Amino acid sequence: MKIGRLILPFLAAVIAVAGLAAVHPAFADDDGKRGAGGGAVPENAAYKQECSSCHFLYMPGFLPGRSWEAIIKGSDKHFGENLGLDDKAKEELSAFLTANAAEKSGLEWSPKILKGIGADTPGRITEVPYIKKEHGKIKAAVFKRPAIGSFSNCGACHPKGGQGGFDEDAVSIPK
Ligand code: HEC
Ligand code: HEC
């Protein structure tokens, strides 16, 4: 009967957790609504794990869903790298990225990004007309500074970018 005594508290814990999970969607819904302006990259373990080891964890809201789908579909030839994603990972990443893409993100910049793109499917955020225009005054030599490296390295000049802080007053260009 020793086992029975162990199982009962365990069952109670399982029921408690199941109860929390049943309530959770209501909270998740509130968290998911971001007001106009910023908002961090939405939490997603697979996105963080697969997409942040080589570069800045880009905002899903900075590209349309069809661009993210194309990026994931072509992930075996990703800018010269094979990301080695299996079908399950591809499905999960595609679903996360399209659910938070420019059409759905609620970020202040997303409508401007979409407007300039029209029917195109940009493969890079740095090719998006609105993003190019916002950085038009920065000289090519600045992007090549050792502390920056390239235009794609958003976090070098937007230290709060990962939390949605792309506003002009939060910009700091490394010397
Ligand atoms: C093995 C390294 C590596 C991993 C992992 C990786 N990338 Fe990349 N990614 C690159 C390289 C290299 C570039 C080109 C960067 C450059 O031109 O400076 C790039 C560029 C990009 C760009 C374009 C950036 C721009 O210039 O606007 C996007 C978007 C992107 N990656 C998304 C992803 C996503 C989504 C994942 C996860 C599925 C991912 N990356 C994982 C290596 C990687
Ligand atoms: C060399 C530094 C540098 C890099 C790298 C850089 N930015 Fe910027 N970014 C700036 C500066 C400076 C501005 C402000 C331009 C101005 O004066 O209007 C800016 C403006 C912006 C804005 C407009 C903010 C607003 O509300 O007015 C967005 C969005 C943005 N950057 C996103 C990005 C993304 C995404 C990347 C990476 C793909 C990136 N930036 C890479 C320096 C940089």
Task: Judge contact between 96 and 132, C-beta under 8 A.
Answer: no
137-169 confidence digits (pLDDT tens): 999 999 999 999 999 999 999 999 988 899 888
Please report the pLDDT score of residue 169 as a whole number: 87
Residue type (1 letter), 151 = F
- Rg for the chain, CA atoms, rounded: 20
Compute the mean pLDDT over every residue in the chain, rounded to the nearest whole number. 84
The neighbour count for residue 154, using CB atoms within 10 Å, is 22
Which of left, alpha, beta for 116 (phi over 0: left; psi -120 to 50: alpha)?
alpha
Rounded Cα–Cα distance for residues 155 and 110 (Å): 18
| Residue 142 CA, ligand 2 centroid: distance in Å | 13
Rounded Cα–Cα distance for residues 123 and 63 (Å): 9
Q: What are phi and psi of 78, to 5 degrees?
A: -95, 95
Please report the pLDDT score of residue 37 as a whole number: 54
Rounded Cα–Cα distance for residues 109 and 128 (Å): 12
14 to each of 2, 22, 85, 132, how far by Cα in Å?
Answer: 19, 12, 33, 52
pTM to 2 decimals? 0.85
Q: Decide: 87 in ligand 2 pocket, CB within 6 A.
A: no
Q: Which residues of the chain have pLDDT under 70?
A: 1-38
Rounded Cα–Cα distance for residues 118 and 97 (Å): 19
Q: Decide: 173 in ligand 2 pocket, CB within 6 A.
A: yes
| Residue 35 CA, ligand 1 centroid: distance in Å | 28
Please report the pLDDT score of residue 44 as a whole number: 94
Nearest ligand, measured from the Cα of 164: 2
| Residue 15 CA, ligand 1 centroid: distance in Å | 42
Q: Decide: 81 in ligand 2 pocket, CB within 6 A.
A: no
